[in-house]
Structures are given as structure tokens and as C-alpha cells.
Amino acid sequence: MKLFRSIKELQQTLAADRIAGLTIGFVPTMGALHLGHLSLVERAGRENDRVVVSIFVNPTQFNDPHDLRIYPRTLDADMALLSGCRCDYVFAPSVEEIYPEPDTRKFDFGSLGSVMEGHFRPGHFNGVAQVVSRLFDLVKPGKAYFGLKDFQQYSIIKNMCLILKLPIGIVACDIVREADGLAMSSRNALLTPEHRAVAPQIYSTLQLALKEAGHFAPDVVKRHVADRINSLGLLKIEYFEIVDELTLKTVSSWKRKGTKVGCIAVFAGKVRLIDNIIFAK
């Protein structure tokens, strides 16, 4: 496994790999890696000859400067974790390396980018698109791997590839959870012991919503989820939406064709956690 800090050195190595006919899989991350990230790396290793993992805390996708400041940065620990995986190259550039000049591009994702995370974190997905498209241009992978915990982000990235006509396969990977059901996230490390103890209730509440889906209308299920989360005291719901898998538009009836996804954002103290669950078609 080799660590690259510069774009030039990374691209020289990848160019040689392409000449040799090797396929390249890519896992973009912001570091503070956990088993969820490693599951993406392992899948990329099974499906490609070379695996690149980027570790870069992207400032343009944070609408809260405090959130950017406290985001965990643990490169040494990340490298140690990756050393046990099928990872060939780690790309950990500086902000100046990625953005030698300010990125002023604006992306229009329509309703995909204006609901849920897009509504509560204005500018977030534009920053995501800026950095991911930049990394895609540098790495030029055949496939890139994203976890479905960030379901809306996955939808945005797929749409971005269509807009930019990028010949990259976007591979969705299942959510990896702790033994108590909490979706693995780099932000979990920021939880207090009290908030960590109650955070698994997010997923258990989503599971209850899944059971209720056959008995109550979507609006009623949404209200029950909000009431349960807020009744716990240490958690505060920001949103819970039941949306169409493809359009991310709110679903008002279970009879509507297509897969529905229940997407949630919850504050555990000052730490914001997201999760989702897939409802039957």
C-alpha cells in the first residue's frame, strides 16, 4: 500500500497501471475510517485490479464551519486500518492540492438536491459534487463505491455522472451497522456516552416504521417516528421523509409504484446522525 500526497505522483502510477491493462476501483472518503468504509474497500478489491482510497476532508461541503473544525482527522489510524485491506493506493492531498483555485462551479440537481439534506444543509451537495467530480477527474476509475447510509448523496452522485457524462460505474453498498443497530459513521466517535447509549433507537424506530407501513398511511408513520424519537429526550429529529427511490419526492400512498425509502436525520446532542430504511415495493 502506497501513500500519495501529490496529484502528479498518483496520476503517474495510475497511468502505468492503465497501460498494463489493470482496472481501477475508487473509494472516496473523508477519513476517520470504520468497518463501513472497509466494506467498500473490500468490495472494490474483489471487483478491480487496483484500489484507490482517498482521504480528504472537503471544506466546500460543510455549511457549518464548526462542523468542519471538529470533523475527526485520523490519518495514521486510517492507514493502519487500510493496511489490513485490499487497498493499493491511499490519496491524502492537502486542500491546496485539490483546490489550487476556488471551485466556483454550480450544479443543478433539481428536486434531488433541494429536499432533506439539501434543504437543511444548503450548499452541501454542491460541495459534494465539486469534490467528487474533481477526484473522479484525477483518479479516472472504472468503478466508484458509495455506502447507502448516505442514500441521497448516492442519488446525487449518480445524477452528477449523468450530467457530466462520466463513464464511471457507481456501485451502491449496503449499510454496515454496529451490533446494536447504529449505522456506522465517523461522527459516532463524537457522541457522548449518554448519547451513544440511546442512538441505536434511531434504527429500532425505523424498524418499527417498517412494520407499520402495511397498517398506516405514510404521513401517519412519519408522525409516529418523530414522536418516538423526540420522546427519548436525548434525541431530536430534524426530519423523517418517506420518498420515492428514484426521484426522492415524498410519497403520500403506499400504492404508488416503485421502492420507497425512509430517510432520517437526528441530533444526538450536537452530533447529527443520518440513517434510512428501505420499504417494500
Provide the annotated active-site residues: 37
Q: Which three cell numbers stand for residue 9?
A: 505522483
**156 beta partners:** none
CA dist 206 → 66, 189, 262, 272, 274 (Å): 29, 22, 8, 17, 11
Q: Burial code of 88-106, b = ≥16 C-beta within 10 A, e = fewer?
A: bbbbbbeeebbbeeebeee
Is 148 strand, coil or helix?
Answer: helix
Distance CA 198, CA 235 (A): 8
H or E element, residue 147 = strand 143-147
Residue 48, C-alpha cell as written in the block: 478491480
Helix (H, G, I), strand (E, B) or coil at 58: coil
CA dist 20 and 17 (Å) reads: 5
Beta strands 169-173 and 235-244 are unpaired
**Stretch (H or E) spanning 73:** none
Q: Which of 47, 56, 39, 81 is nearest to 4 (CA)?
A: 56
CB neighbourhood size of 77 (10 A): 13
Q: 69: which 3 cell numbers?
A: 473544525
Q: Are 170 and 157 in contact (CB under 8 A)?
A: yes
CA gap 208, 205 in Å, rounded: 5
